[in-house]
């Protein structure tokens, strides 16, 4: 039996929320404009109509209050799923996330768990103005107590969100907003991938590109172009930033001997930096060249007309691939 159908990522996430609300009465969805409007990206379209204002409702424009409310609900038996509307809008809630969401289980020695999901439309590619495009994953990944997921495909957006809602502990769910309206085949009945498991999107022989979220399609496009130059480049999609799948990533790097990490966020003290460190530590004797990064620049996210210069593209990736000491072998 299959549940495959063509869905945009926004529709896939909407379907995941709808199915979770149907399956579990303790699930509630709330945030800014997620009610009758259906969210600024229409991800929650129809949920208030179909489940009522007790299950999907609007909140005041106060992100700290939204997350604080979710903490109280989760402490009292509900499973809140909250939306931050835009990545950089989440910063006023950061104190709640770091001081309470991430620490309650540890603080109470596991007696109080917080089964809540913080959905964050994130990263660039939509020509957003200030505060409407950012790559904030390193803040969350650096905070012990949080699971941090970054799906790149519509199928993973559905399956990983369903799995995240069922976890007993908090999840930051990063949704690449530039993918919201791209349609792909999604089988809602397919088994969900385990949280914390990366996937090889393209097997390669000569080098491995490691990416997550919005950078995965860019890495795949770069691998396709590299093939025209006679280089067989693979792509690993992390899917989960925390927990991190060392086994899958390192198996591919050990096989190819070369690796490039691709991410939109600035490179300094980033998730990309951590991936480079982990791969170097675990694969040192298999490497034919230093592990490299292709990231956003270490500047504030630029205005829309400069976005194309900031985001890692196929040309930048291929330039780094070309520089991987091919003459050394």
- DSSP states of 24-68: -TTEEEEETT-STT--TTSTTTTHHHHH-TTTEEE--S-HHHHHH
Residue 58 burial (CB count, 10 A): 16
Residues in the chain: 329
- Within 8 A by CB and 6+ apart from 312, the residues are 215, 218, 262, 263, 264, 294, 295, 296
pLDDT number for residue 2 = 66
CATH 1.20.1070.10 is right for the domain spanning 7-187: no
Active-site positions?
Answer: 132
3-state SS assignment for residue 216:
helix
pLDDT number for residue 1 = 55
Q: Are domains 7-187 and 199-328 of this chain identical in fold?
A: yes
pLDDT number for residue 237 = 98
Residue 133 in tokens: 């495009």
**Interatomic CA distance for residues 213 and 223, integer angstroms:** 16
The 3 state secondary structure assigned to 142-210 is CCCCCEEECCCCHHHHHHHHHHHHHCCCCEEEEEEHHHCCCEEEEECCCCCCCCCCCEEEECCCCEEEE
Under CATH, which architecture does the 199-328 domain have? 3-Layer(aba) Sandwich (3.40)
pLDDT number for residue 96 = 96
- DSSP states of 241-269: EES--HHHHHHHHHHHS-EEEEEEEESTT
Q: Where are the domains of the chain?
A: 7-187, 199-328
Give the distance, in angstroms, between the CA of residue 237 and the centroid of all CA atoms in the same chain: 10
pLDDT number for residue 325 = 76
Give per-10-residue mean pLDDT for the chain (329 aa).
86 98 98 96 97 97 96 97 95 96 95 97 90 94 98 97 97 97 93 94 97 98 95 97 98 98 97 98 97 96 91 96 78
**Interatomic CA distance for residues 69 and 76, integer angstroms:** 11
**Interatomic CA distance for residues 262 and 223, integer angstroms:** 12
The per-type count for the chain, helices as H runs and strands as E runs, is 12, 14
pLDDT number for residue 78 = 98
Residue 169 burial (CB count, 10 A): 18
């Amino acid at each position: 039996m299959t549940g495959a159908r063509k869905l945009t990522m926004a529709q896939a996430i909407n379907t995941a929320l709808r199915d979770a609300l149907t399956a579990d009465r303790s699930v509630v969805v709330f945030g800014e404009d997620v009610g009758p409007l259906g969210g600024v990206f229409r991800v929650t379209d129809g949920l208030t109509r179909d489940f009522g204002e007790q299950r999907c409702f609007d909140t005041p424009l106060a992100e700290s209050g939204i997350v604080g409310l979710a903490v109280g609900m989760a402490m009292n038996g509900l499973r809140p799923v909250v939306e931050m509307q835009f990545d950089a809008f989440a910063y006023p809630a950061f104190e709640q996330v770091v001081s309470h969401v991430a620490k309650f289980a540890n603080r109470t020695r596991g007696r109080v768990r917080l089964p809540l999901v913080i959905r964050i439309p994130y990263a660039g590619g939509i020509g957003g103005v200030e505060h409407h495009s950012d790559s904030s994953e390193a803040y969350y990944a650096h905070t012990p107590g949080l699971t941090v997921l970054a799906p790149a495909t519509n199928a993973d957006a559905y399956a990983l969100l369903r799995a995240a809602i069922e976890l007993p502990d908090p999840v930051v769910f990063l949704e690449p907003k530039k993918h919201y309206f791209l349609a792909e085949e999604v089988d809602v009945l397919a088994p969900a991938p385990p949280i914390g498991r990366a996937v090889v999107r393209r097997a390669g022989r000569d080098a491995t590109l490691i990416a997550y979220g919005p950078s995965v399609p860019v890495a795949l496009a770069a691998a396709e172009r590299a093939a025209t130059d006679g280089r067989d480049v693979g792509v690993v999609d992390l899917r989960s930033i925390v927990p991190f799948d060392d086994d899958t990533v390192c198996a591919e790097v050990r096989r190819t001997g070369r690796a490039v990490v691709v991410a939109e966020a600035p490179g300094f003290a980033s998730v990309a930096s951590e991936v480079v460190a982990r791969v170097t530590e675990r694969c040192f004797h298999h490497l034919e060249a230093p592990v490299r990064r292709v990231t956003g620049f270490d500047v504030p996210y630029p205005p829309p007309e400069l976005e194309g210069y900031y985001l890692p593209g196929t040309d930048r990736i291929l330039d780094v691939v070309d520089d991987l000491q091919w003459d050394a072998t």
